[in-house]
Amino acid sequence: MNCEQATRLLSDGQERELSFKEKAALKIHVLMCSGCSNFAQQMHVLRDFAQLYTQGGRDDDKK
Amino acid sequence: MNATPTTLDREENVEAFNLVDPVLLKELRVQMLKFAVLQLSDQQLAEDAVQDALVGALKNAASFNRKAALKTWVFAILKNKIVDILRKRIRLKETTGFSTDGEGEEGQNSLFDKKGFWQKEERPGAWAQPMEAVKKDHFWLVFDTCLNELPASQARVFMMREFIELDSTEICESLDMTTSNLHVLLYRSRLRLRDCLEKHWFIKGDRS
Ligand SMILES: [Zn+2]
C-alpha cells in the first residue's frame, strides 16, 4: 500500500465501513508513515471544523 | 399558492439591522450566497434562501454580541433551508446533473510521487492545537479562502457532506452521481482542503 491508496481509504473510512483487510493494511501503513498518520487525524479534525462552521458554536462560548 | 408577499415588520427589522455592522453584513451575505448557489445551483432559489435566513437571524440580532456567533447562527438557519430544498428536490426527482469531468485532478497528482508516496514537501505535518485555531476569526477567513479555492464540484460535495450532513445516498440522488464518483470527489476535496489549511494556517515549522 502506498500513501495515495492509504489516504483514499482514510477518506473513504469517513463514508463507509472499511473491510477487515483494508483496515489491517491501512493500520500497517499508518504505523510506518508519519504523513499518513497525520492525515488520518486531520480527517477527523476537518469534520470537526465543518461542524463548527455551521453549528451554533459548540466551542464558541468562553468557558 | 402562498401568493401573499412576505412583507415583514419593517420597523422592527430596520432596528435589528442597525445593530449589525453593515460591512460585516455585506460580507456575510456574499459568503452565504456563494454557499447557497453552490448547493442549489440556482441563483434565485439561493438568494431567497439567504434572504430568509438573514431576516430570520436578524430578528434576534440584539443577542449577538460577537460576529462569530451571528455567523454560525445564520449559517445554521441557511443550512436548514438548503436541506429542506434539497430533500424536496430529491423527492421530486428534479435532479440537476452536474458534470464532474476530471476537475482538479492535476492538483492531486503533484502531491504524490510516481510510486504514490508523499512528495517530501507535501507530506502532512502534525497540526498544532487545531481546536485552539477555531476560536480565532482569522482562522475562519483562511478556511473560507481554502474552500473557495476548491473546484466547484469538490466544494459542493464537501459542503453537502460535511456542512449539510447529508449521507452518501442523498447526495448521490440529488446530484445524480454514483457512490464511487462521490467518494473520489470527497477524497480530492479533503486532500486539497487539508493541504491548503496546512500551508496557510498550520505553519510547516510545526512539524517535528
Ligand atoms: Zn503514507
Confidence tier at B64 by pLDDT (50, 70, 90):
low
Which has more confidence, B44 or B7?
A: B44
Exposure string over B117-129, b if 16+ CB within 10 A, otherwise e = bbeeebbbbebee
CA B42 to chain centre: 16
Distance A46 CA to ligand 1 centre (A): 19
Domains of chain A by residue range = 3-53
B64 membership: H or E segment, kind and range = none
A63 touches chain B (CB under 8 A): no
Q: What is the mean pLDDT of chain B?
A: 77
Distance A29 CA to ligand 1 centre (A): 6
**The pLDDT of residue A1:** 94
Match 437571524 to its residue by C-alpha cell.
B57
Query: Is pTM beyond 0.90 here?
Result: no
**The pLDDT of residue B100:** 44
Distance CA B10, CA B114 (A): 62
Select the highest-mean-pLDDT range: B11-25, B97-111, B157-171, B180-194.
B180-194
| Contact: B162, A16; criterion CB under 8 Å | no
ipTM of the complex: 0.88
**The pLDDT of residue B20:** 66
The contacts of residue B32 (CB under 8 Å, 6+ apart) are B50, B53, B54, B74, B75, B78
Chain A residue with Cα closest to B70: A56
Smallest Cβ–Cβ distance between A12 and the set B116, B124, B183 belongs to B183
All residues of chain B having their beta carbon less than 8 Å from the beta carbon of residue A57 are 68-69, 72
Could you report the per-residue pLDDT of B113-165, keeping only the tens digit for each? Answer: 999 999 998 999 999 888 888 888 788 888 888 888 888 888 888 988 988 88
* Long-range pairs, B177-180, Cβ under 8 A, ≥24: B177/B98, B177/B100
Could you report the per-residue pLDDT of B20-46, keeping only the tens digit for each? Answer: 677 778 888 888 898 888 888 889 989
